[in-house]
């Protein structure tokens, strides 16, 4: 998809009332912070376990 194609899609979405601009660019999170968060999340209760226990 070229830049012109992307702009055309944005215009069509805007005309349909379903385009929301993304806003200003944001910085990517630090790779070490992401790795630490991923490791911490892996040590806790899994969502599937919570859902299963709630259905019992």
Alpha-carbon distance of 55 to 51, in angstroms, equals 6
Per-residue model confidence as pLDDT tens digits over 18-30? 998 888 989 999 9
Work out the pLDDT band at 56, boundaries 50, 70, 90. Answer: low
pTM tops 0.75: no
Q: What is the DSSP letter of 27?
A: P
Count of CB atoms situated within 10 Å of the CB of 44: 8
Alpha-carbon distance of 35 to 29, in angstroms, equals 10
């Amino acid at each position: 998809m070229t830049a012109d194609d992307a702009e055309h899609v944005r215009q069509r979405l805007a005309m349909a009332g379903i385009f929301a601009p993304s806003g200003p660019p944001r910085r990517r999170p630090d790779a070490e912070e992401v790795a630490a968060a991923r490791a911490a999340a892996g040590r806790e209760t899994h969502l599937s376990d919570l859902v299963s226990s709630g259905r019992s």
